[in-house]
């Protein structure tokens, strides 16, 4: 079965067009103001309108409050809410119940214990996403840092929910990552950019071609 791809951090029509043309199943819009990929709800709504049926629009949030979620959901038709902060399992369940939209919880991984803790989210969300934990002591973003984690940590783990692999993926390491983890869905951002926050349509197309060939 082909690996499904989410291209995260879309903020321009040319990147969106490359993602759709290359067969991405998910496109991610970042609603986190510190991110170089941040999109205002107005631009996000315009981009979302260009997404064809069959491609799911994911809104990425970091510890959003109700005001934030309502502001975005009031104008942007999202298919999935991605929670990429320090949300507790209770908060994830609350967001899921409140908006009637699928919720994907990002779990930041550096060691086996992080995956042990992920079990608590398995019943609270619709999907899990495993991403590298941001390095301590630097002003890193909570995600989208182009860093990988030790993929062998996922070996032998089973999850009740569907899950995606992310963190430092690119066309050069995708095959190894999928082989090591058994992932059937992957998420990429930095690995298809030519500079922070700027997706390169050729890199997007190249990544999707690699995924399609797996």
Q: Which residues bind ligand LARABZUK (CB under 6 A)?
A: 8-9, 30, 32, 35, 37, 60, 62, 84, 129, 131, 141-147, 166-169, 187-191
- CA atoms within 13 A of residue 129's CA, in its CB half-sphere: 27
CB 159 within 8 A of CB 181: no
Cβ-proximal residue to ligand LARABZUK, closest one: 144
Shortest distance in whole angstroms from residue 187 CB to ligand LARABZUK = 5
**Nearer to ligand LARABZUK (CB atom), residue 20 or residue 174:** 174
Shortest distance in whole angstroms from residue 138 CB to ligand LARABZUK = 14
> What pairs with residue 186 in β-bridges?
5, 165
**Nearer to ligand LARABZUK (CB atom), residue 51 or residue 149:** 149
**Nearer to ligand LARABZUK (CB atom), residue 87 or residue 187:** 187
8, 125, 187, 210: the catalytic one is 8
**Nearer to ligand LARABZUK (CB atom), residue 53 or residue 106:** 106
Shortest distance in whole angstroms from residue 76 CB to ligand LARABZUK = 17
**Nearer to ligand LARABZUK (CB atom), residue 53 or residue 105:** 105
Residue 125 annotated among the catalytic residues of the structure: no
Shortest distance in whole angstroms from residue 78 CB to ligand LARABZUK = 15
Residue 210 annotated among the catalytic residues of the structure: no
Residue 7 has φ and ψ, to the nearest 5°, of -100, 115
Shortest distance in whole angstroms from residue 146 CB to ligand LARABZUK = 4
125, 131, 187, 210: the catalytic one is 131
Q: What is the DSSP string of the chain?
A: -PPEEEE----SHHHHHHHHHHT-SEEEEE--TTSTTB--HHHHHHHHHTPPTTSEEEEEESS--HHHHHHHHTTS--SEEEE-SS--HHHHHHHHHHH-SEEEEEEEESSHHHHHHHHHHHTTSSEEEEEEPPPTTS---SS-S-----GGGGTT---SS-EEEESS--TTTHHHHHHHH--SEEEESGGGEEETTEE-HHHHHHHHHHHHH-
Which residues participate in catalysis according to the annotation? 8, 131
């Amino acid at each position: 079965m082909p690996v499904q791809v989410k291209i995260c951090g879309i903020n321009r029509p040319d990147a969106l067009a490359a993602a759709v043309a290359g067969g991405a199943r998910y496109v991610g819009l970042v609603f986190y103001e510190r991110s170089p990929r941040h999109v205002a709800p107005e631009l996000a709504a315009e981009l979302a309108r260009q997404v064809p049926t069959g491609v799911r629009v994911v809104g990425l949030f970091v510890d959003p409050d109700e005001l934030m979620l309502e502001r975005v959901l009031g104008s942007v038709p999202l298919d999935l809410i991605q929670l990429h902060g320090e949300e507790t399992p209770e908060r994830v369940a609350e967001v899921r119940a409140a908006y009637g939209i699928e919720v994907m919880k990002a779990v930041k991984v550096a060691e086996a214990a992080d995956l042990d803790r992920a079990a608590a989210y398995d019943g609270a969300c619709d999907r899990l996403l495993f991403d590298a934990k941001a390095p301590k002591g630097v002003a890193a973003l909570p995600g989208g840092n182009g860093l990988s984690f030790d993929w062998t940590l996922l070996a032998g783990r089973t999850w009740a929910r569907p899950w995606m692999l992310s963190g430092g993926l690119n066309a050069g390491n995708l095959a190894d990552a999928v082989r090591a983890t058994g992932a059937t869905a992957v998420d990429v951002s930095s690995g298809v950019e030519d500079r922070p926050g700027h997706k390169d349509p050729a890199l997007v197309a190249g990544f999707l071609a690699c995924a399609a060939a797996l």
